[in-house]
Structure 1
Amino acid sequence: MSKRKNILFIMCDQLRHDYLSCAGHKTLHTPNIDALAARGVRFSNTYVQSPICGPSRMSTYTGRYMSVHGSSQNFVPLRVGQKNIGDHLKPLGMRPVLVGKTHMVADQEGMKRLGIDPASEIGVHHSQTGFEPYERDDGIHPDLVLKPGVAYNEYLKERGYDDHENPWHWAANSVAGETEPRSGFFNDVASQPARVTDEESETPYMTRRAMQFLEEDDGETPWLLHLSYIKPHWPFIAPAPYNDMYGPEDVQPVHRSEAELKDTNPLAKLYQDRISGQTFSDDDKRAATVPAYMGLIKQIDDQLGILFDFMHKRGLMEDTMIVFTSDHGEYFGDHWMGDKDFFHDPAVKIPLIIADPDPACDATRGTVNDMFVESIDLLPTFVEYAGGEVQRHILDGRSLMPLLEGKQIAWRDYVISEYDYFIQPFSPQTGRAPLDCRSYMIANADWKYIHIPGYPPMLFDLTNDPDEFHDLGRAPDYDDARKTMQLALADWALQYRQRETISEERAGEMVGLEDKFGVLIGYWNEDDVKPPASAPDYARGATKK
């Protein structure tokens, strides 16, 4: 290996953990992602810290739980001063670069209060979670939130898609209609091809932009390139030939039970009743939409094949760790729900593959690791890979480097995820104020427990009910299991989360600090002064000067 160590950090949006052939999908073949898994480790029990884009990503980019960094929903700013991926990697000489999506919302009020110009170097740093935005595009640009100057929109206009002001919506994510384009937000058109060609669509565009950055690589400065794809997130519209590459016969069976419709937890019922839950609980509508989602995933796999070949020809595969993951999953009718936002595995569990070319990782190549991993573990992994020391008083996650190297170490027993549902259209029906619209998940090998203030808890016996069909949250025979999980959740919540200014090393140095300063509280006389106390000479009877 060369002395330089780079990171290619690939994140898909809304990619389910089980929609890869290496993860067991029977009809969706992803040979390039599978080849990556063969070169590295596939972590089969990886969970996000919130099943929604913004908070999940902010946890990944800060290495901290949602309730710590405070960005609790989409459109909720990440407060200025929160240490991000750039704060941890730039001091190590690594250049964090973004191509694609972050869903970051800058803390404009906080920067104004602190006198930070958003256009300054430090302002851009805080506004972009520490990334250098080579090309940022969050990809959700319907007409009402159209942002001026989106480079992809300008690219499409140059390609002739100038019949509407917003070609992201009306070309890349719409289909041809009889007189006007039809929006891809309506799933009844999912089988039709997007108006743009494959080359002009979002995934190949972002892949080319990533390769353009790599072409400019000076060969000396280590980099982390975050290639953050917008797809397969809705709108579920794919260009030809991916729009009809799969059909209803390729769709995996829905994962739900009639038992979930009986005496349903009241909050879970509100999720089932959402329009997305109603749509994808219809088998015909599901069968018509999921193939487009599969096509978008296949397109990502094809593009990664192009990218990996490009990197191989430039010798970059030899000094680059490649990480492939997602920010959350998608229900698609499982558990009678649609979209994400709740805590069943289809929404909260994600794919994670890491391939480190270092020979120290040779023993684990091609293996599957089933230990509990959280998305906040990625940033500590990057820090250790880059030669830095993981700041345990700031980073909640744990480095995966020992697992990649096959070392036997003590590991966590459970995973945590959180969600604030105040933004949901149904939240007024709960009668709860926004600050009270909280929910938490803790899961270990035996149980998944969901704590919902103001509602009954939910409990799933993962040993006897791995499908999560039978909610035992109110079952009288499971008081002990509920108490055990609730106490584990409380123990997690009561850990130090905000002592950021004192490292563990410094904390050790501060033991007996007052005694060392000569602040001798409660001592009877000089004979009581013993290590670690080290009072000044005058406290031991010397003449005070």
Structure 2
Amino acid sequence: MNVLWIMVDQLRWDYLSCYGADHIKTPNIDWLAEQGVRFNKAYVQSPICGPSRMSYYTGRYVRSHGSTMNSAPLRVGEPTLGEHLREAGVKYSLVGKSHMTADIAGMKRLGIDPDGEIGRLIRECGFEVVLRDDGENPTAHPGRRGEDYEAYLRSHGMTGDNLWEEWANTGVTPSGELVSGWMLENARYPARVPKEHSETAWLTTRGIEYIEAQGDQPWLCHLSYIKPHWPYLAPSPYNDMYGPEDLPPVNRSPVEKVADHPLLQEWLKMRVCQNFSRDDIRDTVGPTYMGLIKELDDQLGRLFSFLQESGRMKDTMIVFCSDHGDNVGDHWMGEKDLFYDCSARVPLLIYDPRPSADPTRGSASDALVEAIDLAPTFLEVFGAAPRPHILEGRSLGPILRGEVPEWREFCVSEYDYAARAPRRENHIDQVDARLVMIFDGRWKYVHVEQMRPLLYDLQADPNELNELGGDPAFAGQIARMQAMHFEWCRRHHNRLTRDAATVEAATDRGAPPGVLIGYANKEEVDRDGRIFPVHVTR
């Protein structure tokens, strides 16, 4: 068995036709759903890139691994999926984005060379890097990201000082003027880069090349796409494949703009929310967002055809997911952030080629799934020893086999908003700028430190337009959800160095050898089978 783990950056679950979208068709992603299981209620551990990915890559909640915001390093010593899989003889490789920030200070403190064999693995979140491209401006991040794509573009005749900026993220107007893809109003123009050389096409090719090069050693390839993450710019013909008339109705209510919750009030004042609240901006960016998804689907069709023709569909599990969604103007918001379903809920499709998964092909599961469930699933696939004292998720293997396991009653997502303007506007100390979502399949509760909680009833209000946290009529539901939050907080989150078997052995053994606590005489020691100190007689 091998695993091809496809992750897409900032892809909404409800912009895929296999999840019911009727404004866009994604036949290749739909095909994958027909081969395996579609998970309908999958949630990420944080609705922003870095913390979400660190939870995927460690199998641990954000509060556990500590990388709570973008660019917050994953601390040295935090176990990663790569370490667990290498112990089982599995090659764990990255092709694309990881958003990992290395704990350089921690490595220096411990005397670890960041460029040494161990340091490189720590620096790259446990991945053996085939290529890493985080979709970031290489001028702003010299020597870290984008070098491979830059060299690729140059090899195909493109020139300039910063090819990522000047080709992949520069648009061309009908008159030939070059315009910045960072400006939302330019999203309708085609990217300067030809479609066959876009980031999405390039990463697909590199993923295929990786798989072609593999021998007998089992492997997990993390093929991690950058788009449809901003800058919102698509190559021709994807830039004008859709128009404003193709967008689904925007999901927002005037009531949300006058919310009585201080956090929501300040959030909607941020520039990205103000601009995406404008119909003209949404009508410009939304179709391009759809075009980028369509480009992705076309490229995945090329990838899936290769897997079928090469016979790899027979020995490779395929996992498709995203790191979070995109608000695209819903709730008067842009970007991601907060815990609305358009942001925190993600697509998750898993194709398992083994006969044991035959009963569930083409099915859907409504189990409450968390991103951290993938790590224990992968360990099970490769026959690696489970790590329940480290990994906080649950293997999805039983669900893939059609079993009905005992499952969680709620899922959790977290957000550290200390670096966001609403924190200061509300005079919140940065240590208190944290949000925790508890979702039980119907009720979505958000703990807001120093403020009242947020509450949504997704059964009565699936569009999450009516916030109920300030209504005394729902005090009982809030108390129930607070109890779930408290139960989760009381769990062991950091007992990493003692697995269950070791703890049981210590319980059976009692005090360590040479330590005799509470014995009245030697006869009691002898009855327990303990060793009496040799230098005394009684």
Shorter-chain TM band:
over 0.9
| Candidates 339, 342, 345, aligned match of 2:338 | 342
CA contact (8 A) 1:146 1:166 kept: no
Whole-angstrom distance in 1 between the partners of 2:52 and 2:83: 19
Whole-angstrom distance in 2 between the partners of 1:357 and 1:252: 35
Whole-angstrom distance in 2 between the partners of 1:534 and 1:446: 56
Whole-angstrom distance in 2 between the partners of 1:464 and 1:454: 28
Alignment of structure 1 residues 256-295 onto 2, 5 Å: 256-295=252-291
55-64 or 463-472, larger mean C-alpha shift: 463-472
| Ranges in structure 2 where 5+ consecutive residues have no aligned partner | none
* Secondary structure in 1 matching 2:92: strand
Q: CA deviation at 1:30?
A: 0.8
Whole-angstrom distance in 2 between the partners of 1:147 and 1:182: 26
| Candidates 352, 358, 366, aligned match of 1:370 | 366
2:453 alignment counterpart? 457
74-83 or 522-531, larger mean C-alpha shift: 522-531
| Candidates 122, 137, 142, aligned match of 1:141 | 137
Q: CA deviation at 1:279?
A: 1.6
CA contact (8 A) 1:515 1:535 kept: no
1:211 to 2:212 alignment: no
Q: CA deviation at 1:516?
A: 7.2
Q: CA deviation at 1:335?
A: 1.2
User: For residues 240-282 of structure 1, what are the alpha-carbon distances to aligned partners after superposition, in whole Å with 9 as ceiling and x for unaligned?
Assistant: 1111111111101111122222333111122212112112222
User: For residues 32-89 of structure 1, what are the alpha-carbon distances to aligned partners after superposition, in whole Å with 9 as ceiling and x for unaligned?
Assistant: 1111100000001000000000000000000000011011111110001111121111
Whole-angstrom distance in 1 between the partners of 2:294 and 2:178: 25
CA contact (8 A) 1:38 1:365 kept: yes
Whole-angstrom distance in 1 between the partners of 2:14 and 2:429: 36
How large is the Cα RMSD of the aligned pairs? Answer: 2.0
1:383 to 2:379 alignment: yes
| Candidates 221, 233, 237, aligned match of 1:237 | 233
Whole-angstrom distance in 1 between the partners of 2:11 and 2:442: 25
User: For residues 514-540 of structure 1, what are the alpha-carbon distances to aligned partners after superposition, in whole Å with 9 as ceiling and x for unaligned?
Assistant: 357474544455676798x4323679x
Whole-angstrom distance in 1 between the partners of 2:420 and 2:177: 31
Whole-angstrom distance in 1 between the partners of 2:404 and 2:385: 20
* Secondary structure in 1 matching 2:320: strand
How many residues are treated as equivalent by the alignment?
A: 536
1:193 to 2:190 alignment: yes
1:311 to 2:295 alignment: no
Whole-angstrom distance in 1 between the partners of 2:45 and 2:12: 15
Q: Structure 1 147/515 Cα, relative in aligned 2: closer, same or farther at 3 Å?
A: closer
1:409 to 2:390 alignment: no
CA contact (8 A) 2:455 2:478 kept: yes
* Secondary structure in 2 matching 1:511: helix
CA contact (8 A) 1:79 1:106 kept: yes
1:105 alignment counterpart? 101
CA contact (8 A) 1:256 1:335 kept: yes
Alignment of structure 1 residues 216-227 onto 2, 5 Å: 216-218=213-215, 220-227=216-223
Following TM superposition, where does structure 1 have runs of at least 4 consecutive aligned residues deviating by more than 3 angstroms?
142-149, 177-180, 515-531, 542-545
1:300 alignment counterpart? 296
Q: CA deviation at 1:313?
A: 1.7
With normalisation by structure 2, the TM-score equals 0.96
CA contact (8 A) 2:263 2:422 kept: no
| Candidates 33, 36, 41, aligned match of 2:29 | 33
1:121 alignment counterpart? 117
CA contact (8 A) 1:36 1:355 kept: yes
Whole-angstrom distance in 2 between the partners of 1:147 and 1:76: 19
Letter in 2 for 1:68: S
Q: Structure 1 288/404 Cα, relative in aligned 2: closer, same or farther at 3 Å?
A: same
Q: CA deviation at 1:181?
A: 2.0
Alignment of structure 1 residues 15-30 onto 2, 5 Å: 15-30=11-26
1:169 to 2:165 alignment: yes
* Secondary structure in 2 matching 1:45: strand
Letter in 2 for 1:128: E
CA contact (8 A) 2:380 2:397 kept: yes
Letter in 2 for 1:160: G
With normalisation by structure 1, the TM-score equals 0.94
Whole-angstrom distance in 2 between the partners of 1:419 and 1:13: 18
CA contact (8 A) 1:21 1:29 kept: yes
| Candidates 516, 535, 542, aligned match of 2:530 | 535
1:154 alignment counterpart? 151
User: For residues 323-362 of structure 1, what are the alpha-carbon distances to aligned partners after superposition, in whole Å with 9 as ceiling and x for unaligned?
Assistant: 0000000111111111111111111000000000000000
1:508 alignment counterpart? 504
User: For residues 377-435 of structure 1, what are the alpha-carbon distances to aligned partners after superposition, in whole Å with 9 as ceiling and x for unaligned?
Assistant: 00110000000122110001111011101112100010100011112234322322322
Alignment of structure 1 residues 384-463 onto 2, 5 Å: 384-463=380-459
Whole-angstrom distance in 2 between the partners of 1:461 and 1:321: 36
User: For residues 130-187 of structure 1, what are the alpha-carbon distances to aligned partners after superposition, in whole Å with 9 as ceiling and x for unaligned?
Assistant: 111101000121744454761111222233332x311111211111256752111111
* Secondary structure in 2 matching 1:227: strand
CA contact (8 A) 1:141 1:147 kept: no
Whole-angstrom distance in 2 between the partners of 1:100 and 1:464: 40
400-409 or 6-15, larger mean C-alpha shift: 400-409
Letter in 2 for 1:42: R
Whole-angstrom distance in 2 between the partners of 1:520 and 1:121: 44
| Candidates 462, 481, 487, aligned match of 1:485 | 481
Whole-angstrom distance in 2 between the partners of 1:8 and 1:272: 38
